[in-house]
Structure 1
């Protein structure tokens, strides 16, 4: 590899969008024929339109500088990275080689998250991110774009460059600054500090909430120890995790660490990386991403103190940006991939169209559906400030959890969509009453009560007739009339 990163990539043969196809053929030739440098030059001239030895050698030296080739007069060889790329056909292997040795590739992908751009605009983005660059070659950005096209991350039409689906996933992961770790792999603390670009002090604590540059919670690192003092039950798809606070200090308190997990159970939606440390090891085994489905403040098994007990669910998702995209889709709309880009909440009514009542659940795996369902509950409760939309109550338990539930307006059992506009935050009583058909809501957000004075409970609910709902400040998070009308129709209320 080169001693320092390059500013400009060197194109390969085959034209932009086809570099990797020609490169793969060349690498197979190197692997099978074991050529010298002259033989490699002759292969390129015989299989491409290249004729200049100097030009060919320049492009081969670029492959050497990014760690794919080892060039000697008497021998041209693939490096271990080059062999792995050919064997696995994984575009990220080649992308990582480019990123490690050439500036600007990550900048280009992040810039395209804002929408289609020309090569010149991409050059401006790279120059702004790397002010030391001297773009003396106006084709420089096109070299970057040509490689990304060839890797399948960028597509080009009418002079504009856009992200493909795989390119958007990669760009979102880069923008999130969150690493993708390998479940079942053991990591040293130094390796995790490098991956997360953060320090953990003398050791990694059990609960590690980490914030972004704006002070917002970005992710949580969670660790369980085999010889830990809490007696966590870590078996199964769902498991329990005891919060921070050793037995000698009595009842556990709502520390910032415990509070981060409580808030995640109630509203925050960020990736949680879960690790396990065997008693006889310094390295931590990565168990994968998890979600918090419940938080309780209960007596410990011995009954001698109160502890925070969190119910965790393992997620079969390796990429944290997939988790974030699924979470965003609950607010921003359903898409085939869970991405938040296709169907926004504002599009539900800004153009006069009606949103669909149901989602095509076949588009999501079981894990993706669990993530969306959990996120739906958290997003809805957060949108309503954890208060009942009907009575305004917000009862809090000693654990700091709130007696508020997220209700689907058009029911989940009928495949009602996991979107905030199909949700209401309700206390347990009014959630039951809404689902049972005692209560409904008009299009102008007033409470309707079923006209059943012969039934017990009517007098209690009748007092709510005509009351206005407590709603989110953002109009795009308020119930959509389509869902409200469908609920009224299901329970026999007259049109409103």
Structure 2
């Protein structure tokens, strides 16, 4: 991203505090009509106080610049991007904030500044100018335009010329500023600069794979470095690429070191941010490439030895807080007070990589909620290599786009996962096990013994199966 970031957040229509109300109506029009640019301008002139075509075009260009809209020339049309549709599907302010912060300097600076207390627009402008001195940030109207968007998103209140954070704004600010490294994609960093930004020490040099733990010894993040002269091929610039694990050729087969195992674990379930850096052969600094997801891990033969081959995919997430928000959304996706939550995720709500992060978090959170024991039989079989026979099952099936929400999940052993998906077993609203009445089929006697047995539930009631998902599963398999 680097120098491509904007310095000014262009106002939208409706006045400070109301940008998103008008924007939502406009985006619904764009989604329904895929209008020409002229038709989009006409709509804004008819539905707002806009009087200048140039002013409207400036705002449309800004929305295109933050990747909310796409303005196509051939054919002439305006349409929402995938991320624009994700915001419109729920008008989640966090989604729009991420777009603004990703493409415009200063938004995180304002949040951090307001954590210390209310400030005027001028004081906020001074903070941005100090933080981003490299771009000569001196537009006197800039702070008000940033603040107007934050007001519209519900993160800032304004009274008597002072701006202060709302509860939602304070929560967002703490999440985005707490221990968050100040890194920009495309920028080069020395080892000492990275150690300062990430709050860690790499020792004599930065190795290829660097797992880092918190004060409790839990994995907190992973730094991955690829050298230009390393064994990676020509695909590192692609959205998806291959990364070879830790272990020099002269030492033979690569081993399951702590570093290799950390990436293997991320391939199974994305639990922490993975920062990716590229090290050119002709300089000492490393170029930050952004967050990546470990899609797959294989132990394969390559050039006469066994190596760990990791498939990595670049994440369209500028900030680690966005990663954390996606994983947290798995546990927060179904409200206790929701009588009939949607069974499926909106097809347009998440990008492919965002879905993978949520899917990985689903597996982790479900198995953890049930303490890695089968909800039906209570077992937790462990293999000699330490892996457990526990899987995270969707109640309303994943193949039908069932939601990655903890309350749509059960931790099950392989046998009972298969039986649940196949329709041998279901769960009543009072969390008793139901068994299909098929005594003519082999296997019935084994499953019949489970009839009316209570489900072994998470201690946290907010993570227990929601009745809507259980009812949908019973209906699919003829239990009701």
Deviation at 1:318, TM superposition (A): 1.8
> For the structure 1 residues 151 and 284, does the alpha-carbon distance in structure 2 shift closer, same or farther, using more than 3 Å as the test?
same
Q: Of 474, 481, 489, which aligns to 2:460?
A: 474
Q: Distance in 1 between matches of 2:236 and 2:386?
A: 24
1:379 aligns with 2:365: yes
Structure 1: runs of 5+ lacking an equivalent: 1-16, 19-87, 100-104, 112-118, 121-144, 334-344
1:196 — aligned with what?
198
2:115 — aligned with what?
109
Deviation at 1:447, TM superposition (A): 2.5
RMSD: 4.1
> For the structure 1 residues 491 and 295, does the alpha-carbon distance in structure 2 shift closer, same or farther, using more than 3 Å as the test?
same
Q: Of 221, 224, 239, which aligns to 1:222?
A: 224
SS at structure 2 position matched to 1:222? strand
2:150 — aligned with what?
152
Q: Report which structure shows greater RCO (CA 8 Å, sep ≥6).
A: 2
Deviation at 1:245, TM superposition (A): 3.5
Matches within 5 A, 1:262-281: 262-267=264-269, 269-281=271-283
Is the 1:109–1:163 contact (alpha carbons within 8 Å) kept by the matching residues of 2? no
Structure 2: runs of 5+ lacking an equivalent: 1-15, 18-99, 120-142
Deviation at 1:204, TM superposition (A): 0.8
Is the 1:91–1:151 contact (alpha carbons within 8 Å) kept by the matching residues of 2? no
Is the 2:392–2:412 contact (alpha carbons within 8 Å) kept by the matching residues of 1? yes
SS at structure 1 position matched to 2:341? coil
Q: Map Cα deviations across residues 121-157 of structure 1 (whole Å, 9 max, x no partner).
A: xxxxxxxxxxxxxxxxxxxxxxxx9998467365327
Q: Map Cα deviations across residues 374-432 of structure 1 (whole Å, 9 max, x no partner).
A: 32222223323334333445455676554433221112333322111101123344323
Is the 1:434–1:440 contact (alpha carbons within 8 Å) kept by the matching residues of 2? yes
Matches within 5 A, 1:22-41: none
1:134 — aligned with what?
none
Deviation at 1:290, TM superposition (A): 1.4
TM value normalised by structure 1:
0.60
2:301 — aligned with what?
300
Is the 1:267–1:381 contact (alpha carbons within 8 Å) kept by the matching residues of 2? no
Is the 1:152–1:164 contact (alpha carbons within 8 Å) kept by the matching residues of 2? no
Q: Of 260, 283, 286, which aligns to 2:285?
A: 283
Q: Distance in 1 between matches of 2:300 and 2:115?
A: 50
1:179 aligns with 2:182: yes
Is the 1:380–1:420 contact (alpha carbons within 8 Å) kept by the matching residues of 2? yes
State which drifts further: 479-488 or 374-383: 374-383
Deviation at 1:158, TM superposition (A): 7.9
Is the 1:266–1:378 contact (alpha carbons within 8 Å) kept by the matching residues of 2? no
Q: Map Cα deviations across residues 268-324 of structure 1 (whole Å, 9 max, x no partner).
A: 62211112324444332333211224445x35336755x544443321222221111
Q: Distance in 2 between matches of 1:199 and 1:227?
A: 24
SS at structure 1 position matched to 2:150? coil
1:207 aligns with 2:209: yes
State which drifts further: 358-367 or 395-404: 395-404
Deviation at 1:358, TM superposition (A): 3.0
Q: Distance in 2 between matches of 1:163 and 1:190?
A: 36
Q: Distance in 1 between matches of 2:170 and 2:146?
A: 8
1:452 aligns with 2:438: yes
TM value normalised by structure 2:
0.62
1:443 aligns with 2:429: yes
Q: Distance in 1 between matches of 2:456 and 2:308?
A: 31
